[in-house]
Structure 1
Amino acid sequence: MSLLRRIRGWIFLNDPTWSEEKRREQVLVRRLDVFFMIYAAFSSIVKWLDQNNVQNAYVSGMQEDLHLYGNELNYFTTYFNIGYTIMIPFSVYLMNDWIRPNIWLPTAELLWGIATATFAAVHTAKQVYGIRFVVGFFEGTAWPGIMVLLLSWYTPSEAGKRIAIYEASTYIGSMWAGFLQAALYRNLNGAHGLSGWRWMFVVNAIIPIAFAGYGYIGIPGYPNRPNRWAFWLRDVDVETAQLRMKRIKRSLPKGWSWKAVKSLVTGPHNWVSPLAWAFGLLGGQGTVGTRYFNLWLKSLKNADGSKRYSVEKLNLIPVASAGISVVSLLTLMSLSDRFQVQWPFILFCLLIGLTFSSVLAVWEIPDSVRFASYFIMSIPTVFADLQIAWYGTLLAHSAEERSFMVAFGVVSMYCLNAGVPLSVWPATEAPHWRIGWKYSASCWAGAIVLFFCLVWYERNSKLLRARNAIAQDDEASANDQIESDDRFDSKTPVGEEDQPVPAPVVLRE
């Protein structure tokens, strides 16, 4: 078949070489991509805008207007993380047992949008602390919720690209935040008595409030508990989704029970979950320093002592870093889907993270090398997404355990981020942190050690499953042979097969 016909068959979902089963799967995936992934991607953009807009505001006049000359920026992150970590375990539990995700997730998005709007009226750091807590509380539903849904609908050959699209949208949100803040500062600074950074919060609030309504129909629910309002999801699509998960032996959410808790704590695989948790925690901590790129840029001076970069450039230069993250994310996640393996690409990220965080830890290097190192450190930010895709393989036996690990990992990360930056990345030490990049390099080194332990587990578990499958096949073959022998022993004696068989008696009325 010609390449053109294959492309046309993929576009119109009528490739004549496909079986009916494959055609149904392709139709399901297309519908999920069109309806669900649009919501997921746009929600990711909005989440990033509302989560990190305080960084852009800080370098765009907020610091001066609110007289923030201590570690207030770190506390803004701390209060956000406290709200975020309180919500995550409740959110995952509620989504598994009590509230359908198509109700829960968009409602939370609506509420954090409303909270974001109130930033435009703040006058003290304490007011910012309170609002950041509320925004973080409701945003705690989004990332783990979407990840659980992605692993409930997409197979290992599909999930990586969709996680990449979701996370790439995060970086697009980061890029958009830079462009948006630069444009608002240039065009609206002082309009109607509001500073440019206050206008950014107003615009940021309008977007989630307007878009949240789509989530009520765009989120599909779970294959075993589909969204009744999702008009685009047919019965045949739900049936196909359930068969796909059964085929790859991936459990769907059943709700938490004592049996699920016992399996999590006492199962033969129970050492894998804390190992994967610690691995993700170390890798995640290794990337934290990239958030402070604009603080280093703000510290740079010209020979005459004037600032090297304007407010507009402080918002625009980090856009290139986000662009590198997008390219890295889409490339590595697509390759992991293509080869249906994650660990080689995770190792690539770990080695880059260790190398260039070590370079930044030295610090006494030319500015051009620091620039390059900050940009290159954007590549391993894909680490967390590869790790989530890997969970689909390592923890395929339990949907509850997967959701627990996603939630527990994120909670742990945000708990650390609530306190660690105050001592490791204090704003008063910017741009040369005494501990920061040394801490980052040590986290990458520790993650590499745990990485090889998890690779060993994955390989051995695959060998064990293969041996069990062979044993089951041998047992089935032996049973078939026994049944065949029994049938042979019960055959009619030789010669009797030629005797006429009596005609059946037909009763008539």
Structure 2
Amino acid sequence: MAHLDSNAANAIKAVDPDTIHVRDHDGGSASSEKDAGVVSKTTTPQQPEPARWFHWHEPGTSAEEKKLIFKLDWFLLSFSCLMYFVKQLDQNNIANAYVSGMSEELGFGPGDELSWMNTYFNIGVIIGGSFANLVITVVRPRFWLSGCLFTWSLFVLFLFKCQNAHQFYVLRFFIGLFESAAWPGVMYCIGSWYRKSELARRSGLFVMSGVLGQMFSGYLQSALYSGMEGRGGISAWRWLFIFDFIIAVPVVVYGLICFPDTPHTTKAFYFNEWERRRACERIDEEGRKPVGKLNLSVIRRIFGSWQVYAFTAAYCFWTLTCGSYIIQYFTLYLKSTKMYTVPEINNIPTSVGAVNFVFMVATGFIADKIGRRGPVCFAVGCLLTFDYAVLTVWNVSHSFRLAVFILVGCYGCYTPLLAGWANEACGGDQQKRAFVLGFMVSVGQAVVIPFQQLQMPSSQAPTFKQTHGWASSLAMVAALTLWTGIGLPLLQKWRGSQVKVSNVEESED
């Protein structure tokens, strides 16, 4: 069957599930019929829907395709969101436990044990990230992602038995090793199913589930501190790790049954034959038909491309802002004031997640609407620059400092924007796309390890005066703003123009 180009795809107003009309290479009409001998039915084109600012489907999407997208949103996104919710819950529980009695019970004192727990976790992410996402191109995602979720949740459960910092370090390493498959793996699957104009919103919705995980971790620890302290002879902070494992088990089962894999490999029970075929055509029309094999050529295809360097640099600038640790630093600041109870110390930082949620929704819709991510990244970067400048100065009122800590939550929208951007830019090379998504995370975590230990160790929180932590992060925020807002769009435009010139020359030859 001939493939539709993007312009032809936008012209389709109605698609009959039994008969698909496409344009053949000669400009004529060709039809693919469900059964031989069936006469093609004449369909009346739908009237174009009026363009609206807030819309979930592109104007002109047929009722049948809307049903397909609904199934994707329901099954693919629901498991993805639940998995990422559990991931962020497990990633942030260590900070909530630390300020809820763990450091006192285990005699950690004013050292950097919390920073080292983050460091060993990041080492696991570095080792696992890139290779985990290459595995997902040959192993069905529903088995790989669900298996990784169960394995890291098991290591989280073992945390409740820890009696010293070294036991935490070992378990946190293995948690990070298997958690490394979650974010790039799900982003790879989302990029395998959705069009360019649908990516930012879905990616944002996925990452927002992690924000809810961050918030829920604080609420859960607060509730456990109030109601489970001493139950069964176990401290409340230990109960947190037990409950996190219990929450993960049904998500694992759901993923094994309902996750749809990728369009060209899916055997999901809820898709009919037309929907499976149409799902493949949607991606083919975007120019992202899966190509390439997992062989030696993958090294040249990946490291000879501009995408691996451009998006890795962007993600590194993002991690070096230490924005992903802002809730942790906010928690330590609240504790240092000695003005708040333990439940309040766990609950107040969840407002950072609320800001994150709002920005992810807004930036996802705006990026899809204008068809560009650079201006959105630049605008958010300017706001982040102001926040970090205030934290660098530090000598402001307590209420103003609280507001700035909360407003730093806008940082989180960068991850879905960069992931959708990379999915789009890498086209149909599935190995390159998978590797870039994993590699950018691995390198980002690699560079943040020494930065966090040297510039923002937990023993220097919350001011980091001796290490000049906030000033160093401010420099990275400026680099992030300039690269994603100006440098990366210009690079993509330049490389795109080179490809067009090359294609024209090949056509003339």
User: Could you state the TM-score of these two structures normalised by the residue count of structure 2?
Assistant: 0.83
Work out the CA distance in 2 between the residues paired with 1:18 and 1:461: 37
- Aligned to 1:280, which of 315, 337, 350? 315
The CA RMSD over aligned residues, in Å, is: 2.6
Q: Determine the structure 1 residue equivalent to 2:335.
A: 298
Could you tell me which amino acid in structure 2 is paired with residue 445 of structure 1? Answer: A
1:17 aligns with 2:55: no
Q: Determine the structure 2 residue equivalent to 1:441.
A: 474
Shift of 1:384: 1.9
Q: Say which SS state the counterpart of residue 96 (structure 1) adopts.
A: coil
Work out the CA distance in 2 between the residues paired with 1:63 and 1:411: 29
1:131 aligns with 2:162: no
Shift of 1:261: 2.5
Q: Say which SS state the counterpart of residue 256 (structure 2) adopts.
A: helix
Q: Determine the structure 1 residue equivalent to 2:261.
A: 221
Shift of 1:137: 1.6
Q: Say which SS state the counterpart of residue 462 (structure 2) adopts.
A: coil
Does structure 2 retain, via aligned residues, the 8 Å contact 1:359–1:373? yes
Percent of aligned pairs with the same residue? Answer: 28
- Aligned to 2:112, which of 66, 71, 76? 71
TM-aligned CA distance change 1:253 to 1:18, over 3 Å:
farther
Work out the CA distance in 2 between the residues paired with 1:86 and 1:314: 33
Deviation sequence 1:384-412 (CA, Å, 0-9, x none)? 21111111333225222221111111001
1:94 aligns with 2:135: yes
Could you tell me which amino acid in structure 1 is paired with residue 219 of structure 2? Answer: F
1:459 aligns with 2:493: yes
Does structure 1 retain, via aligned residues, the 8 Å contact 2:188–2:423? no
TM-aligned CA distance change 1:167 to 1:320, over 3 Å:
same
Does structure 1 retain, via aligned residues, the 8 Å contact 2:193–2:283? yes
Q: Determine the structure 2 residue equivalent to 1:258.
A: 296
Shift of 1:45: 0.9
> More displaced, 392-401 or 99-108?
392-401
Work out the CA distance in 2 between the residues paired with 1:406 and 1:272: 10
Work out the CA distance in 1 between the residues paired with 2:164 and 2:143: 35
Could you tell me which amino acid in structure 2 is paired with residue 438 of structure 1? Answer: A
Does structure 2 retain, via aligned residues, the 8 Å contact 1:272–1:454? no
Work out the CA distance in 2 between the residues paired with 1:353 and 1:405: 26
Shift of 1:18: 7.2
Work out the CA distance in 1 between the residues paired with 2:47 and 2:236: 55
1:227-376 equivalence runs, <5 A? 228=267, 230-252=268-290, 254-266=292-304, 270-286=305-321, 287-291=323-327, 292-300=329-337, 307-376=338-407
- Aligned to 2:463, which of 421, 428, 432? 432
Shift of 1:462: 4.9
Work out the CA distance in 1 between the residues paired with 2:411 and 2:487: 20
Q: Say which SS state the counterpart of residue 59 (structure 1) adopts.
A: helix
Does structure 1 retain, via aligned residues, the 8 Å contact 2:81–2:205? yes
Work out the CA distance in 1 between the residues paired with 2:318 and 2:470: 13
Work out the CA distance in 1 between the residues paired with 2:228 and 2:282: 51
Does structure 2 retain, via aligned residues, the 8 Å contact 1:46–1:204? yes
Q: Say which SS state the counterpart of residue 431 (structure 1) adopts.
A: coil
Q: Determine the structure 2 residue equivalent to 1:178.
A: 218
Work out the CA distance in 2 between the residues paired with 1:162 and 1:94: 23
Work out the CA distance in 1 between the residues paired with 2:495 and 2:376: 20
Q: Say which SS state the counterpart of residue 232 (structure 1) adopts.
A: coil
Name stretches of at least 5 consecutive residues in structure 1 with no aligned partner. Answer: 1-12, 301-306, 477-509
Deviation sequence 1:171-210 (CA, Å, 0-9, x none)? 1111111111111110111111111111111111111123
TM-aligned CA distance change 1:463 to 1:262, over 3 Å:
closer
Deviation sequence 1:220-251 (CA, Å, 0-9, x none)? 1121222x3x2113332221111111111114
Does structure 1 retain, via aligned residues, the 8 Å contact 2:207–2:415? no
Does structure 1 retain, via aligned residues, the 8 Å contact 2:355–2:406? yes
Does structure 1 retain, via aligned residues, the 8 Å contact 2:312–2:444? no
Q: Say which SS state the counterpart of residue 222 (structure 1) adopts.
A: coil
Deviation sequence 1:3-22 (CA, Å, 0-9, x none)? xxxxxxxxxx9x98379983
Work out the CA distance in 2 between the residues paired with 1:359 and 1:418: 24
Work out the CA distance in 2 between the residues paired with 1:216 and 1:295: 39
Shift of 1:455: 1.3
Work out the CA distance in 2 between the residues paired with 1:377 and 1:21: 37
Does structure 2 retain, via aligned residues, the 8 Å contact 1:84–1:414? yes
Could you tell me which amino acid in structure 2 is paired with residue 332 of structure 1? Answer: T
Q: Say which SS state the counterpart of residue 419 (structure 1) adopts.
A: helix
Shift of 1:259: 3.0
Does structure 2 retain, via aligned residues, the 8 Å contact 1:117–1:204? yes
Work out the CA distance in 2 between the residues paired with 1:264 and 1:200: 41
Deviation sequence 1:144-185 (CA, Å, 0-9, x none)? 100000000011111111111111111111111111111111
Could you tell me which amino acid in structure 2 is paired with residue 92 of structure 1? Answer: N
Name stretches of at least 5 consecutive residues in structure 2 with no aligned partner. Answer: 1-16, 18-43, 49-59
Q: Which has the larger radius of gyration?
A: 1
Work out the CA distance in 2 between the residues paired with 1:429 and 1:145: 35
- Aligned to 2:183, which of 132, 138, 143? 143
User: Could you state the TM-score of these two structures normalised by the residue count of structure 1?
Assistant: 0.83
Q: Say which SS state the counterpart of residue 377 (structure 1) adopts.
A: helix
Could you tell me which amino acid in structure 2 is paired with residue 241 of structure 1? Answer: A
- Aligned to 2:454, which of 423, 428, 433? 423
Deviation sequence 1:102-142 (CA, Å, 0-9, x none)? 11110111112222111222111111111111211221111
Does structure 1 retain, via aligned residues, the 8 Å contact 2:307–2:436? no
Q: Say which SS state the counterpart of residue 75 (structure 1) adopts.
A: helix
Q: Say which SS state the counterpart of residue 378 (structure 1) adopts.
A: helix
Could you tell me which amino acid in structure 2 is paired with residue 124 of structure 1? Answer: N
TM-aligned CA distance change 1:129 to 1:468, over 3 Å:
closer
1:382 aligns with 2:418: no
- Aligned to 2:248, which of 189, 208, 212? 208
Shift of 1:417: 3.2
Q: Say which SS state the counterpart of residue 224 (structure 1) adopts.
A: coil
Work out the CA distance in 1 between the residues paired with 2:454 and 2:464: 10
Could you tell me which amino acid in structure 2 is paired with residue 457 of structure 1? Answer: L
Deviation sequence 1:52-82 (CA, Å, 0-9, x none)? 1000000100010111121100111111111
How many residue pairs were aligned? 453
Does structure 2 retain, via aligned residues, the 8 Å contact 1:217–1:231? no
